[in-house]
Amino acid sequence: MTIKKCTRALTLMVFLSSFICSCNTRPTYSDNEQRSFCYWNTWYTADTALWHATEANHLYVRYFDVDWDAISEEAKPMASVSGNDSLPGNFTPSVFLTNKVFEKSNEKALDSLSVRIKRRIDDITRDFGRSAYYNSERDYDSSVDTDSIREVVIARYMDKYKDILIDCDWTSGTKDKFFYFLNRFKKDCKDKNITVTLRLWQYKQTKTAGVPPVNRCLLMCYNMQAANDYNVENSIASMDELKKYVSGDKYPLTLDVALPVFSWAVLFRNEKFIGLLGNATNKEYENNFVEYQNLGNGRYRSLVDKVTGNFFMRKGDIIRVEGVSKDELLDMAKYLKKEIPMDEHSRVTFFSWNKSYIENYGTDEIKDIYSLFSK
């Protein structure tokens, strides 16, 4: 056997041994996965230059949703993510489950759902592992079993992520079944840490919402008020609203924190909600005197009938542009750092990974908030 062949064989043996040794143990968090983003699209596309510009080192990836299917009368996964690009070195699969899943499912159904969710996560991760293998440079001679190496690389890729994020806005009426599901899911994912999203009302009202049976949660500091309420000034986030929820007694679990860098426009007709326009800013409306009347505080009245996004706006309709300013976002971050229970491994994540959102805020401003939490 030539030296080159021996080297390839030794590499394969190292891959296999390191993979076998890493199985069936819950992973620990490292010190280089605290600067995070959330990726919430169904097609994954990497942007390496932007990723490096933000100095991010972790990504939550929405793998799929789970909703109740009335026809089959069971919970079903839907809208799975896919893509040809490789995920970053540190990533966390995320699965969103609707409340109806827990309203309709019994414990036996939840046992089955837990297994199916784990299987779907594995399948999607394998697909991304294949992308990682085929996107890498390979220079194997003809004597090397490349199929075996590919499978080892895929297996190691599946072993890369440390946790799974379960996203659900559970209520007092669904908490028992949701917590039952979490305990079952932890048994089905013995080699992963299970984390849970936490809405602000769940943070504040622990007696009503309960405390999920996990070690840490991701506190979602956005969507603080109802967007369809005409009288709300900014439904995404504000310091005043944040303080209504985060004050007094600290939460009994260690937290990661999610902050908003997105914006949108909320449409109203006769003070009734029409819909949302994503990625909207005041710049699009404040100087367009022909089509909009500036009412102040991010509100504009349409002066013409026109198609906007997927909506037909009529003269007199109101647009409320919402977002969080750079200064207020920094103030929110400072307040959260002081008030919520975090540790050296707590992540700061921005919702969501979108080039327009990130450029609107600026990579330097994002890095400033990352740095704030690392001090």
Same domain, 145 and 203: yes
What is the per-residue pLDDT for 7?
45
- Say what the pLDDT of residue 146 is: 73
Q: Which of 185, 140, 194, 190 is nearest to 165 (CA)?
A: 194
CA–CA separation, 288 and 108 (whole Å): 58
Enter the tokens of residue 242.
């944040």
111 with 158, same domain?
yes
Q: Which two tokens stand for residue 133?
A: 């293998």
Question: In this structure, are 251 and 268 located in the same domain?
Answer: no
Are 198 and 251 within one domain? Answer: yes
Say what the pLDDT of residue 139 is. Answer: 54
Contact 284, 302 (CB under 8 A): no
The rounded distance, in Å, linking the Cα atoms of 164 and 125 is 12
The CATH number given to whatever domain includes residue 9 is: 3.20.20
225 with 273, same domain: the answer is: no
Mind spelling out the 3-state secondary structure of 278-293? ECCCHHHCCCCCCCEE
Q: Is 332 helix (H, G, I), strand (E, B) or coil?
A: helix
What does the alpha-carbon distance between residue 24 and residue 74 come to, in Å, rounded to a whole number? 30
pTM beyond 0.85, yes or no: yes
* H-helix or E-strand spanning residue 126: helix 107-135
Give the tokens for residue 99.
């409340």
Pick the last residue of a domain from 287, 302, 322.
322
* CA dist list (Å): 200 to 28, 128, 173, 181, 235: 27, 33, 17, 22, 13
Range of the domain at 98: 3-261+327-374
- C-alpha 337: how far from chain center: 20
Among 322, 344, 363, identify where a domain stops: 322
Encoded amino acid at 121, one letter: I
Question: Are 225 and 267 found together in one domain?
Answer: no
Residue 40: CB atoms within 10 Å: 17
Residue that finishes a domain, picked among 286, 304, 322: 322
Residue 71: CB atoms within 10 Å: 6
CA-closest candidate to residue 280, choices 308, 303, 307: 308
User: What letter represents residue 352's amino acid?
Assistant: S
Q: How many domains does one find in the chain?
A: 2
Give strand ranges (E) for the chain: 35-39, 58-69, 74-78, 91-97, 163-167, 193-198, 216-220, 254-260, 264-269, 272-278, 292-296, 299-302, 306-308, 311-313, 318-322, 348-351
Domain match, 20 and 113 both? yes
Residue 28 DSSP one-character state: P
d(Cα 102, Cα 168) in Å, to the nearest integer?
10
Residues 177 and 268 in one domain: no
Please indicate, yes or no, whether residues 272 and 253 belong to a single structural domain of this protein: no
Per-residue pLDDT tens listing for the chain (375 residues)? 444 444 444 444 444 444 444 455 667 788 889 999 999 999 999 999 999 999 999 999 999 999 999 999 999 999 999 999 999 999 999 999 999 999 999 999 999 999 999 999 999 999 999 888 887 755 555 556 677 878 887 888 888 899 999 999 999 999 999 999 999 999 999 999 999 999 999 999 999 999 999 999 999 999 999 999 999 999 999 999 999 999 988 999 999 999 999 999 999 999 999 999 999 999 999 999 999 999 999 999 999 999 998 999 999 999 999 999 999 999 999 999 999 999 999 999 999 999 999 999 999 999 999 999 987
40 contacts 59 by C-beta, under 8 angstroms:
no
Residues 30 and 103 in one domain: yes
- Distance of alpha carbon 56 from the chain centroid: 14
Q: How many CB atoms lie within 10 A of CB 308?
A: 18
Contacts of 246 (CB under 8 A, 6+ apart): 200, 203, 204, 335, 336, 339, 340
Assess whether 310 and 188 both reside in one domain. Answer: no
**93 and 11 both lie in a single domain:** yes
